Amino acid sequence: MIRVTLRTGPFVTEIGTDIPFLHSELTRLYGSGNIVAPGRFADFHVEVQRAKGLRRHIRPQAVFDFDGFQPLKPLGLRQAVPLLEWGMNWIIGGEAHQYLILHAAVVERNGRALIMPAEPGSGKSTLTAALVYRGWRLLSDELTLIRPRDGLALPLARPINLKNESIDVIHRYAPGVFMSAAAYGTAKGTVALLSAPADSVARDNEPALPRWVVFPQFSAGAPARLEKRSKAGSLLYIGDNSINLHMHGAAGFELVADLVDRCDCLEFVYGDLDEAVRVFDSLAQTA
């Protein structure tokens, strides 16, 4: 069993695996900013191991284990990297109730955070990847952690999950950035993980105050368009798609309401990544 300890944002995860290629992918996907020496305390202890029994040899599978509990179905061995990433997200969503956790990407520029709730087919991850390789700081592509006492978003700065066509798009957009080997045939199609920018990782203990909530929608060929979106509608959507709002009861509702109140809520349609980044950049110059 090979062990690796990752520090990502507020969490230290100790990972054990008997799958050599997973270990080598991890050490390239995560850099020295994340890979740390094992310490006295890890927040989570996980293992990704080859399935036992028949599945060890016939269409071999990998199993994600969280301290003796297996929350996810085993996946094909070649999907070990996304399995680990999804597993870690599962754990954060299920355990880290010291935060309010939204299903949204969050990036930062000029000291202000921009949250992108995850509508299916929105291209949020692709947009996130483009932004953070054009000067924006990555906090997360998937889970927005809001600290209840001050409403700040806390970074995770973990690899970005790319799917299908966006894998090639981002290869071209950010050439030379490490991307894990594509895993085919996952539930989400073909998946690859893109390394987080080193600067984002270096600053992953720096929270940011949310200033915008932007709902992106990719539409091939469409010119970029940014419009106000109803705050009430935004509140409902974020609430419905939160990861653990139900844990926080009334206080959680207030937190989301404050967020939506304080932020500009916008809809964003785009067809071209470069143009999208320009629009976001000029947004960042305002207010």
Partner 1 sequence: MSAELLADILGSLSLPAEQQRFDFDWDAVIRTARRAGLLPRLALVLRENGRLDAVPPRPGAHLEAALVLSEKHAADVRREIDNLVAALSGIVDRIVLLKGAAYLAAGLPPSRGRIFGDIDICVPRASLSVVEAMLGVFGWQPGSIHPYDDAYYRRWMHQIPPLVHRTRGSAVDVHHTIVPLTARPKVPADLLLQAARPVDANSKIAVLAPCDMVLHSATHLFNEGEFVWAFRDLHDLDLLLRHFAAEQGFWSELIERAEILDLRRPLFYLLRYTARVFRTPVPEDALRRVEAFGPPAPLRPLMDTLLERALAPNLPLARDRWSPLALALLYGRGHYLRMPVHLLVPHLIRKAVRRPDDG
Site for partner 1 in 226-255 (CB under 8 A): 246-249
Residue 168 as a binder of partner 1 (CB under 8 A): the answer is no
Count the neighbouring beta carbons within 10 Å of the beta carbon of residue 103: 18
Do the Cβ atoms of 143 and 93 come closer than 8 Å?
yes
Contact with partner 1 (CB under 8 A) among 24, 70, 98, 286: 98
d(CA 40, CA 27): 21
Minimal distance, residue 96 CB to partner 1, in Å: 6
Residue closer to partner 1 by CB (options 45, 225) is: 45
Kindly state the tokens that stand for 234: 């935004």
Instruction: Mention every residue, 6+ apart, whose C-beta is less than 8 A from residue 186.
Output: 75, 79, 82
- Distances in Å between the Cα of 209 and the Cα atoms of 27, 123, 165, 205 are 31, 24, 32, 13
Q: Which of 137, 272, 130, 134 is nearest to 194 (CA)?
A: 130
**Which of these segments, 64-72, 132-140, 168-176, 273-281, binds partner 1 (CB under 8 A)?**
64-72
**Which of these segments, 40-48, 76-84, 126-134, 253-261, binds partner 1 (CB under 8 A)?**
40-48
d(CA 238, CA 85): 23
Residue 55 as a binder of partner 1 (CB under 8 A): the answer is no
Classify residue 179 by its DSSP letter: B
Minimal distance, residue 207 CB to partner 1, in Å: 15
Q: With contacts defined by CB under 8 A, how many residues of the chain interact with partner 1?
A: 18
Q: Which of 46, 49, 76 is nearest to 63 (CA)?
A: 49
Residue 42 as a binder of partner 1 (CB under 8 A): the answer is yes
Residue 277 as a binder of partner 1 (CB under 8 A): the answer is no
Residue closer to partner 1 by CB (options 68, 120) is: 68
Q: Phi and psi at residue 6, in whole multiples of 5°?
A: -110, 135
**Which of these segments, 15-23, 48-56, 96-104, 109-117, binds partner 1 (CB under 8 A)?**
96-104
Residue 41 as a binder of partner 1 (CB under 8 A): the answer is yes
Residue 87 as a binder of partner 1 (CB under 8 A): the answer is no
Kindly state the tokens that stand for 284: 């960042």
Q: Which of 161, 112, 116 is nearest to 137 (CA)?
A: 112
Contact with partner 1 (CB under 8 A) among 4, 6, 8, 12: 12
Residue 207 as a binder of partner 1 (CB under 8 A): the answer is no
Minimal distance, residue 67 CB to partner 1, in Å: 5
Site for partner 1, rule CB under 8 A = 10, 12, 40-43, 45, 67-69, 95-98, 246-249
